[in-house]
Structure 1
Amino acid sequence: MIWKHIKKVSCIVSVIGAILIDRLIPNSVEQPQANATYFLYFLYIVGTLFVAVYITALFHEGVSKKLEETSPLIAGGILILNIINIVCSKLALLPVLFFPSLDRVFGVFVNDRVLMLECILSSGRLLVIGFVIGALLGFITGLLLGFNRKIAYWVNPLTKVIGPIPATSWSPLVLSLFSTSYQAAVFMIALSVWFPITVMTSSGIQNIQQSYFEVADTLGAGKLYKVFRVGVPAAMPSIFLGLFYATTGAFITLVTAEMFGCKSGIGWYLNWQKSMMLYANVYAGLILLAVLCNLIIKILFKFKDRILIWQKGVIKW
């Protein structure tokens, strides 16, 4: 019981320790000062939220279990931020140009919030277009490879040659073929999504027990019924795994593709800030990218747990 209580308050204790260190130890004179103590404001917000959650957990069993599960993880994250704060801001042990203070990094989210929101919308639009095109083509190709041996015989070698090549490696050729860099970026994202979904869809279909199709034949099922009511549902675990790989690959390709002539987006923002030697903005962009990628994958897994309820918890994120 005591250990469970310690786990619940671990985040609050970690935040209080980080606040005390930030307030009591002055910043190094070598570190450029930020406009405000943004990291301290962040700690205040996190601490207030977890105090409210802790009070709620006293009266709600579900919230109590969730707090016991997540609080040590958040406490570990706060501890890492605290160490970074000491090394970079308080002691300036690393070059201040490349390792800015957390106040300057968190200040970017306030000062550049409008530009960052525009970049999120631009990257989101580009990602959705490329992902949808790649996912549809990958799903169709996977179905054809899984159900038709003649098509698999001719297309599989092409898939094995083109697929493993990173989509960004095609950038010199793609930029020459397409009239705009935006179209080239869509193509590279679609290509990065197409391969994992194709492979996992065809693999999932080929691994279905033949008895499923034999039973469907006995009951008089047609070809389309066997494809979409037997084959696809049975291959859904593999398809979702392909979607997971495709999502991570799409984000990698997105950032690289936006550096080739795009005038907006998170990748463009990172490249621009790096060229301006504004590394606080670069780190803020990386944090934003990590949060968005994690959020999309988490939503994907929530959707998977609803569709494949019998596999809930088999693969966790």
Structure 2
Amino acid sequence: MSSPNTPSPNQTADTPSGQTATKPGTSSRRPLLPWVAGPAWFLAALVTWRWPDADDFPDTNQLATQFCAIGLALTVAAVLRRLSARAPWAIALGLGFTAWEIIQAKLLWLPRPFFGTPQDLLDVFLTDWRRLGDSLLHSLGLLAVGYGIGAALGVAIGVGLGRSLRFRYWVRPLIRLIGPLPPVALLPLAFIIIPSSRLASEALLALAAGFPTTILTWSGVVAVDPAYYDVARTMGARNRFLVLRVALPAAMPQIFVGLFMGLGVSFATLVVAEMLGVKSGLGFYMQWAQGWAAYPNMYAALLVMSLMCTGLVTLLFKLRDRVLSWQKDGLKW
């Protein structure tokens, strides 16, 4: 029987009774971070509004208003206790914009027009949002068709390679000959053979997405335990059932790896195709901005492209998590 003064297993020897011991590695200042996020953006607003600009930059007052609105939203989130996990990033971004504003808009330490100001970036989104939005839609449309066709063909060819010896005999040499080629290396040939630059770009995107998807699907199908097929055959399953209900579900983890790899290669192919062939899209917009030395427009297009790529990868991860819900410890994005 333990005495009243004996520490319980949940208490340390120097912790008074009735108080909760702090876990090792846990900072007692962490709850204060959400309350610092709002003031960090208020500081950015104050610097933008009160410190005179080094040149006549557009939309300074609008930028200060935006910073102030973000700071107010973060303060409300802190009051509602919705900012604990994202508070450090919110603080870092607020201080980062403050430093950017001081270095470039107030002191002009970096050469213009190569390095813009936050005001320049905001002015692009306020004045050229229609062209940016149209470029984004064209890029999404081109990527959806090319990547979708490449992914579907990659899965189908990979299943054929894994299930049919005759199909593998004829198709494998072609895969080994054409697949490893960088899709952008075939860009001039594609524009000669295919009369439409858009169709040529879609074909290259399909090749970019199809090769890794084919290889990983093939690997996943070959790795399926033959006992699964034997059990299904004893129950009267036909070849179609073996493919759709045995091979594909078992190979799905490798298939998604191929889809992720194909998506990354498709992003690079998309930008090059739009810069050199297709007269629309974010890649074409970036080339146009660089030609006119409109570097803020180029940076805005880069930001939009980054958000597009991140959003598409996130959607693919959501799909993978839904299909492979049994993989609890899988890679997260």
Cα drift, residue 166 of structure 1: 1.9
Match of 1:295 among 311, 315, 323: 311
Checking the alignment, whether the CA contact within 8 Å between 1:181 and 1:260 is kept in structure 2 is no
SS at match of 1:221: coil
Match of 1:87 among 98, 103, 110: 103
Please identify which structure carries the higher helix content: 1
Unaligned runs of 5+ in 1: 58-63
Q: Which residue of 1 aligns with 2:300?
A: 284
* 1:177-197 deviations in Å (ceiling 9; x for gaps): 111211111111111111121
Is 2:119 the counterpart of 1:103? yes
Cα drift, residue 312 of structure 1: 4.1
Q: Which residue of 1 aligns with 2:249?
A: 233
TM-score of the two chains, using structure 2 as the length reference: 0.84
Q: Which residue of 1 aligns with 2:57?
A: 33
* 1:40-76 deviations in Å (ceiling 9; x for gaps): 344234323323333333xxxxxx4xx3222323433
The residue type equivalent to 1:55 in the other structure is V
For residues 130 and 214 of structure 1, the distance between their equivalents in structure 2, rounded to whole angstroms, comes to 37
For residues 310 and 9 of structure 1, the distance between their equivalents in structure 2, rounded to whole angstroms, comes to 39
Residues 113/54 of structure 1: CA separation in 2 closer, same or farther (3 Å cut): same
SS at match of 1:270: helix
The residue type equivalent to 2:291 in the other structure is S
1:1-317 alignment, distance < 5 Å: 2-29=28-55, 33-57=57-81, 64=82, 67-317=83-333
Q: Which residue of 2 aligns with 1:61?
A: none
Count of equivalent residues: 307
For residues 285 and 205 of structure 1, the distance between their equivalents in structure 2, rounded to whole angstroms, comes to 40
SS at match of 1:94: coil
Checking the alignment, whether the CA contact within 8 Å between 2:175 and 2:211 is kept in structure 1 is yes
Identity score, percent: 33
Q: Which residue of 2 aligns with 1:60?
A: none
Unaligned runs of 5+ in 2: 1-26
Checking the alignment, whether the CA contact within 8 Å between 1:38 and 1:107 is kept in structure 2 is no
* 1:68-99 deviations in Å (ceiling 9; x for gaps): 22232343334443333333323322211100
For residues 123 and 70 of structure 1, the distance between their equivalents in structure 2, rounded to whole angstroms, comes to 31
SS at match of 1:311: coil
For residues 183 and 90 of structure 2, the distance between their equivalents in structure 1, rounded to whole angstroms, comes to 35
Q: Which residue of 1 aligns with 2:11?
A: none
For residues 253 and 120 of structure 2, the distance between their equivalents in structure 1, rounded to whole angstroms, comes to 43
SS at match of 1:310: coil
The residue type equivalent to 2:67 in the other structure is L
The residue type equivalent to 2:45 in the other structure is I
Is 133-142 or 37-46 further displaced after alignment? 37-46
TM-score of the two chains, using structure 1 as the length reference: 0.88
Cα RMSD for the two superposed structures = 2.2
For residues 69 and 153 of structure 1, the distance between their equivalents in structure 2, rounded to whole angstroms, comes to 54
Residues 216/103 of structure 1: CA separation in 2 closer, same or farther (3 Å cut): same
Cα drift, residue 273 of structure 1: 0.7
